[in-house]
Structure 1
Amino acid sequence: MAEKRRKFDAEFREGAVRIVTETGKPVGQVAKDLGINETTLASWVSRARRVGGAGAGTVSPGDGPAPWRPSGRRSPKRAAPHHQR
């Protein structure tokens, strides 16, 4: 049976992000200490950094991982070798 999705209030999310950004502890360790999913915490930290800069502790209202979106960065395409006959 599927687990019920937990909701985290803004204060909890901001506190969790603050622990990561201010202490430098790895996201995985902080998530384990708080009993939350590592991917969820990583998305909160990532979102906070995008919104408020590298050390920001604010998190937008979403309570779970953000959907994956391409960053827009692409590696340069290499020209295919041209074979002459």
Structure 2
Amino acid sequence: MPRKYSVEFKEKAVHQIIEMVRLESCSLQRAYEQVGELLGVSRHTLRAWYSDSASTRDGRTTPDSETMEERLKRLRRENRELKRANGMLKTASAFFAAELDRPTTK
């Protein structure tokens, strides 16, 4: 017997699929599988919800609707964050390397 899901549950599932595709750059199929595992819903059911969703039909929140400018802005922001994190890691590794070079006193 098919299980009934609330509209809110379906919308959240579709939103998770959209976000996974957008943020993790994975395929829709992979997103269906991963979200399905998390929620305990088959990928076929998720695909149907995604297809029926008003948010995907109006074209405003589909993963492919990101304009080139939005994508460039997002990628530049990610690049800045990664460069900052990389700088912190370099500083930390230099600090710990200096600790290793110090002579020990016993």
Instruction: Give the TM-score category using the shorter length.
Output: 0.5 to 0.7
Answering whether residue 27 of structure 2 is matched by residue 30 of structure 1, we say no
Q: CA deviation at 1:23?
A: 2.4
Give the alignment partner of residue 42 of structure 1, picking from 47, 51, 64: 47
- Relative contact order, CA 8 A, sep 6+: which one is greater? 1
Gaps of 5+ in 2: 63-106
Unaligned runs of 5+ in 1: 57-85
TM-score (norm 1): 0.53
TM-score, normalised by the number of residues in structure 2: 0.44
User: Which structure has the greater CA radius of gyration?
Assistant: 2
Q: Higher helix proportion, which one? A: 2
RMSD (Å), alpha carbons: 1.7
Q: Does 1:15 align with 2:24?
A: no
Query: 1:22 Cα shift?
Result: 1.6
Following TM superposition, by how much is the alpha carbon of 1:11 offset from its aligned partner in structure 2, in angstroms?
0.5
Q: Which runs of 4+ in 1 moved over 3 A?
A: none
Residues 5 and 17 of structure 1: is their aligned pair in 2 closer, same or farther, counting only changes over 3 Å? same
Aligned length: 52
What CA deviation, in whole Å up to 9, does each residue of 1:10-57 have, x standing for no partner? 01000000000122261111111110111010111122222x22526x
Identity between Structure 1 and Structure 2 (%):
35
